[in-house]
Chain A
Amino acid sequence: MIYLDHGATSFPKPPAVVRAVRAYLEESAANPGRSGHRLSAAAARVIYDARAALARLLGAPDPRQIVFTGNATGALNLALHGVLRPGDHVVTTSMEHNSVMRPLQHLRQTRGIRVRCAPADVAGRIDAGAIADALETDTRLVVVNHASNVVGTIAPLAEIRRAIGDRLLLVDAAQTAGATPIDVTAPQIDLLAFTGHKSLLGPQGTGGLYIRPGVALEPLMPGGTGSRSESDSQPDFLPDRYEGGTPNGPGIAGLGAGVSELLERGMDAVREHEARLLERLLARLQEIAGVTLWGPHDAAQRIPAVSLRLDGMAPSELAHALDRRYGVLARAGLHCAPQAHRTLGTFPEGSLRLSCGWTNTPQEIDGAAGAIAELAREAMR
């Protein structure tokens, strides 16, 4: 089997992640910090260590500024619902995932927010100038996909920060956290949403939001925190303000182990490994007659997600044939990003996406490209 669907979720998880989940369940699965006994303390330490590791990976000076959520969608909703007030103006881009587009549409309908979409080009490149053009004097928030989940194109965050001045910047790092080095202080990022189960190598059901000190959000889900229990009001300090309810302890234990593994390997090495795979994949695919590729040709401008179409075969058929005949696992369709596909010109059929990750080897890349070449020859007969 050749797994090239890391953009959907990384698989397999590192053995250390599996061990951490198991150890949590077997040894410390009490309610973190709530109950006061030794298992409760042990669980709290696991959560603390995961938060501290994430802060180190993302360059966040204080681990408290990392708030756990169930996924990137939860983090994006917390940020969007927490920041936006009735009538606010938001600028986003045409490369966003439904995890941004749908909450914005919901807030348009329920709070009367105004949304302007800065267009990306056909390679998914976001121009900071287009974002600047979309700003209004009262624009409260700019929401940007750090890298497209469809074509992997990386957004120029430093240029975007310069273009938007001191307006709030929310970065959707679902595809980039753990895939490329991130420093939330340079350029300054106010809010950064991440998922735990993709390049951070953790289990599904984990994610979080980095909140820059001084950025005030309304909590999305008030509830019990084990702190200020005498009060009916949600605590005003982080992370408790945004973490009502018992956290996903086993998931966060695994996420912490995944992040620790990335810190040990070093993000530059991780990025280098995946960039080499991407270069190889692009080179192999470009040699195949009948294959059309989307996204920048330069691997440095993208994370390792490639969208393609094959003449004479629908993306869904291609994905199915790759799975059943060659054991190559990839994802076809719109990838929950219809606006991105409209931008690329691949709506409504979508594309086949091959997305590489930490376990992939050059041999696997050649194997997948070989399978596509064979199917291309068949499709042309």
Chain B
Amino acid sequence: MTARATDQGGSAAAHCVILFASIHDVTAADRELRDAQIWCDMIPTPRSLSSDCGMSLEFRCRDLSAVRRRLQDARARPRGFFRRAGEQYVPLPAREGEGSRPATEGESGPS
């Protein structure tokens, strides 16, 4: 279990992660979500998702719809959305309504 001592998102909420192409995109998304008062945190890119030595963006899964909308406005280029499940990351569909297992707002995952 990864300690999340600085988690301001509330420990009860499931966390999702967005991978981006570059640190520019991560920061653009971070700015956009903060401006919209959506909690997020820049974190080291999880090794199981990518061998990049860069950063990714963590947010609460219940904000997924709002996050997708804001990222479209910010023209940030997400490479993938993932829901954290313990030490695993479950891929989420690229767009809302796609795929068989979209994350739903308010969903609580294992933590």
- Using a CB–CB distance below 8 Å, which chain A residues touch chain B? 32-38, 40-41, 44-45, 47-49, 51-52, 62-64, 225-230, 235, 237, 239-240
A41 and B42 within 8 A (CB): yes
- Chosen A-B contacts, 20 in total, with CB atoms closer than 8 Å, are A33-B27, A34-B23, A35-B53, A37-B44, A38-B6, A41-B42, A44-B27, A45-B27, A63-B24, A226-B54, A227-B23, A227-B54, A229-B51, A230-B50, A230-B52, A235-B21, A235-B22, A237-B21, A237-B77, A240-B22
The yes or no answer to B36 lying at the interface (CB within 8 A) is no
**Interface size grouping (class) on chain B:** 20 to 34
Instruction: Give the CA-CA distance A237 to B24 in the complex, in Å.
Output: 11
Q: Is the interface of A mostly helix, strand, loop or mixed?
A: loop
Residues of the B chain whose Cβ atoms lie less than 8 Å from the Cβ of A62:
75
Q: Which residue of B lies closest to A32 (CB)?
A: B23
Among the listed B6, B54, B77, which residue makes an inter-chain contact with A229, where contact means beta carbons less than 8 Å apart? B54
Query: How many cross-chain pairs have Cβ atoms below 8 Å apart between A and B?
Result: 77
Among the listed B24, B45, B51, which residue makes an inter-chain contact with A36, where contact means beta carbons less than 8 Å apart? B45
Residues of the A chain whose Cβ atoms lie less than 8 Å from the Cβ of B26:
33, 44
Instruction: Give the CA-CA distance A272 to B89 in the complex, in Å.
Output: 56
Instruction: Give the CA-CA distance A32 to B23 in the complex, in Å.
Output: 8
Question: 6 closest Cβ contacts across the A-B interface?
Answer: A36-B44, A33-B23, A48-B27, A41-B42, A226-B54, A230-B51
A229 and B52 within 8 A (CB): yes
Residues of the B chain whose Cβ atoms lie less than 8 Å from the Cβ of A229:
51-54
A228 and B42 within 8 A (CB): no
A36 and B31 within 8 A (CB): no
Within 31-79 of B, Cβ neighbours of A (below 8 Å) are at 31, 42-45, 50-55, 75, 77
Shortest CB–CB separation between residue A82 and chain B, in angstroms? Answer: 19
Among the listed A35, A41, A226, A239, which residue makes an inter-chain contact with B52, where contact means beta carbons less than 8 Å apart? A226
A45 and B22 within 8 A (CB): no
B30 and A45 within 8 A (CB): yes
- Using a CB–CB distance below 8 Å, which chain B residues touch chain A? 6, 21-24, 26-28, 30-31, 42-45, 50-55, 75, 77
Known contacts A45-B30, A230-B51; decide if A51 and B23 are in contact (CB<8 Å).
no
Known contacts A36-B43, A36-B45, A41-B42; decide if A64 and B24 are in contact (CB<8 Å).
yes
Residues of the B chain whose Cβ atoms lie less than 8 Å from the Cβ of A47:
27
A227 and B21 within 8 A (CB): yes
Instruction: Give the CA-CA distance A63 to B77 in the complex, in Å.
Output: 13
Among the listed B6, B43, B50, B54, which residue makes an inter-chain contact with A34, where contact means beta carbons less than 8 Å apart? B54
B54 and A63 within 8 A (CB): no
Residues of the B chain whose Cβ atoms lie less than 8 Å from the Cβ of A51:
24
Instruction: Give the CA-CA distance A283 to B51 in the complex, in Å.
Output: 64
Residues of the A chain whose Cβ atoms lie less than 8 Å from the Cβ of B43:
36
Residues of the B chain whose Cβ atoms lie less than 8 Å from the Cβ of A37:
44
Instruction: Give the CA-CA distance A237 to B25 in the complex, in Å.
Output: 11
Instruction: Give the CA-CA distance A36 to B54 in the complex, in Å.
Output: 6
